[in-house]
Each structure stands twice: as C-alpha cells, then as structure tokens.
Amino acid sequence: MYFYLNTLDRALPTRLVGSVMETSGGTAAVADFPAPVGSVVVIERSSGGHVRAEVIGFRENRTIVFPYESLVGIRRGAQVRLVATLRHVRIGDALLGRVINAHGRCVDGRPQPMLTERTLVEQDPPPPAERPRIDETFATGIRAVDSMLRCGRGQRMGVFAGAGVGKSVLLGMLTRYTEADVNVIALVGERGRELNDFIERDLGPEGLARSVIVCATSNEPAVSRVQAAHTATAIAEHYRDKGKNVLLLIDSVTRFATALREIGLAAGEPPATRGFPPSVFATLPKLVERAGRNRHGSITAFYSVLVEGDDRADPVADTMQGLLDGHLWLSRSLASSGHYPAIDVLESISRLMNDISTPEVVAAAATIRKLMAVYRDNEDLISVGAYRRGSNKAIDAAIDMREAIAAVLQQSPDEECRLEDSTELLLALAARAQAILSGPAPTPAPTAA
C-alpha cells in the first residue's frame, strides 16, 4: 500500500508532450516539456518506433533528456511524450538465477518471468534511528577476511584494486561461499564478455541459483549504467524487507561514478575534482546508505573500486573509504608473487571487527598483524642479510611465522573455509606466535672474525 500511496504523491496528474529542438552529443533538448528530473520519456522516430530517454536537467528553458539508446532517426520537432515520473522494476522470487538489464528485463535468452510485485528504483535509506546495531558475524567463506578482517551482517565494505589483481575472482568466491540467503550482483560498465566469464568461472551453478545479476555493459548509455546500481540495490532492499540476509555486490563503483560524470557534464554541470562534477560525490552516499540492516533483515554490501594506476589518491576511492565500514586493499605485489586472494591485510581494515568478535579473536588478529608489520618494516634488512638473528625477539618471531601466516591467508578459488575453521586457524597461529615471543631469547649469530 505504501508503494502506491508514495507513487500517487509524486506522480504528475497531466499528460505532457514536447518536441525536440536540438541534439548535442548524446543528449536532446526538448521544448515545452516541464517534466521533473528522473522522468522516463519516449522520443518518436521519423522512421517509426521510439527511443526511451531520461530527463537529466534543464538549460535555457529547455529540458535535457539522455537516451537509453542511439538517437539515430530522431529529427527536429520529433514528439516527446512523458511515460513515467518514477522509475520502478518488477521483482519476485522468479528473478533468482536470472540475468536482467538495468530496467529489469531478463537478457539471458530465457522466457520473461511472471512478476506480480514492483518496487521503486531509487528509494530513501532507512532512517538512522531505526537501524539496529550490527552485532552478528557475516561469514564470507574467505579465510583472510573471516580471520583478520571479519565482517558483520549489514556492514558495507569496499574492495579496492587496480586492473588485473584478482578483484572478480574474489567477488566470485564471496558469492559462492557466503552464508547469505540471496546474492544480488550488479556488473556496472564491465566488458560484455565478462558476464558469462563471471557466471561460469567465478559464480558457478550453485551461486547462480540464489543470485540475481543486473548487467549494464560499457557500451550501454550512462543512464543505464547508473540505473543498474540503483536497480540492484532496490532488489536487495526487497529481499531484506522480507527478512532475508542479502549479499549485495556492485562492480564497480568507479564505473558508476564515471557514468554519473558523463550525465552531469551533459547536463551542463561544471567539472570539479579531476573532472568529476559535485553531483557525483553527492550521489555516492545516497547509494551506499541504502545498504545495511533494518528491523526486518540485512544487506551486507561489497563495493569494488577500480584504482587506476594503483593511485590511492583517486577521488572516488578516497570518498568511498570515508563512506564505508571498512575496506579490502588488493596488492599488485602480492598478486605478482602468486599470493591469492591478494588482500593486503596491513592496508585493510574492518571497522566493526571489535564489535562482532570475541576478545580472544581480536587479540589473536592483533598479534598476527603486529608480526606482519614487524616483518614489513625490516624486510629490506632481512632480504640483504644485514639482520643478525637474536638481535630482536619480535623480528625473529616474524621471520619464523612468515610462511605459516602466508599459508593461512592464501586460499584457492575452489576452496571453501567455514568461519569456525578460520577462527580455529587464527587462534592456533596466534598461540604459536605467543609461544615464540615468550620463549627464551635466541643466541645471537656469531660475527665473522
């Protein structure tokens, strides 16, 4: 009932018709057409048929619309007609195991499902005062995450990586091994061939059976790429409100921001930070704040961020780090050495780990993190043979434990690890490290005469 009342409150009571005055780049300017921003319209082609488009702004008493497809066949004076002031998608359990586009149409070659429910594409996030605290662990099935960077149900994490560092494989492991009831995956701006690669290589039949995939490839218009992220979030909200534990993956937020930049510049917005208009940084929090817990269920979200050239000062990456509840940094040097998943534990953080873990797990993770930091700080001395064993007990322990720590943090893509097993391995590793640290100091190596 709330959906229909909300729709009536925001709908326009009159039929709007305008005409195309000019085109510029990929947009069209429409005269005598006071439709609100975000409305869906159709532009009549001279050869028959029509082009769907979206209102993105206004300029000089004209309405600027951004088409969902090519403007070929559109002439000056072509009629523009308002279709809807609100965007919605049809939803239901029949979407599980299906691949849909940004507008909710199945594109996997199978018949369209019968869906009796629908939801708004863009919705407000849950009120802050109505969000329950995150106090339950979310098992990902990835040993490095479940041991050192534990997540909670309803937490929002970022996966930051350069190109070719194993981001897609990590996301595939998440969807296969997670404890979530439903996976909702948005592939925003990806290459067309990567869809089937992700489904067949990374997701697998079992992962696909409980997943909904929303795909908008790089050749699709910017408005479709933006809507794909919102559509995936709306579907995740639908399942959350039914009491489900939902895993939401959006790959990638960088391409979502790039599409927002294209729309903003087309609407006449001035560029600001590295060519991104201010509206991009106003939209990102609106997207990520929709994930999380409410009184019915939870959305645990992972947003991948493509760090171009491994530049950590990238404005999108910097903004996302401030918005999220933690981040996983994938290291190119680890990937080059064959360490998968290439999660750099020392550069990564889960801001809720202390709230959802026992004191023993927190202390064990701190012990292992300390040894990893000690080894990294002294790696140059160790590698060139300048360090004398016995000079520092912490460095000796870091050297002795290095291979054991690396073995726990590595995991092949076809290997699943339960949360209990990850915890047991972490505690055993920390106990071994404590035994070395508390034991007698080793005798320093003799110096050459």
Q: Quick check: helix, strand or coil at residue 229?
A: helix
Q: State the alpha helices, DSSP H only, in 48-148.
A: 143-148
Structure tokens at 299: 């959305």
**Which pLDDT belongs to residue 310?**
64
What band does 147 get if pLDDT is binned at 50, 70 and 90?
very high
pTM, entire model? 0.90
Place of tokens 């401030």: 322
Quote the pLDDT of residue 449: 42
Buried b (16+ CB within 10 A) or exposed e, 143-157: bbbbbbbbbbbbbbb
Are 333 and 343 contacting, i.e. CB atoms less than 8 angstroms apart?
Answer: no
Q: Indicate whether 4 pLDDT > 70.
A: no
Give the sign of the dihedral formed by CA 284, CA 155, CA 91, CA 7: negative
- Most confident stretch, 19-28, 240-249, 310-319: 240-249
Task: Quick: pLDDT tens for 341-390.
Answer: 999 999 999 999 999 999 999 999 999 999 999 999 998 888 888 888 88
Which three-class secondary structure state does DSSP give residue 55? Answer: strand
Give 316-322's long-range contacts (Cβ < 8 A, gap of 24+): 316/253, 316/254, 316/257, 316/276, 316/280, 316/284, 317/160, 317/254, 319/281, 319/284, 320/158, 320/160, 320/253, 320/284, 320/288, 321/158, 321/160
DSSP run (H or E) holding 361: helix 359-377
Q: Is residue 12 very low, low, confident or very high in pLDDT (cuts 50, 70, 90)?
A: low
State pLDDT tens for residues 187-201. Answer: 998 888 888 888 888
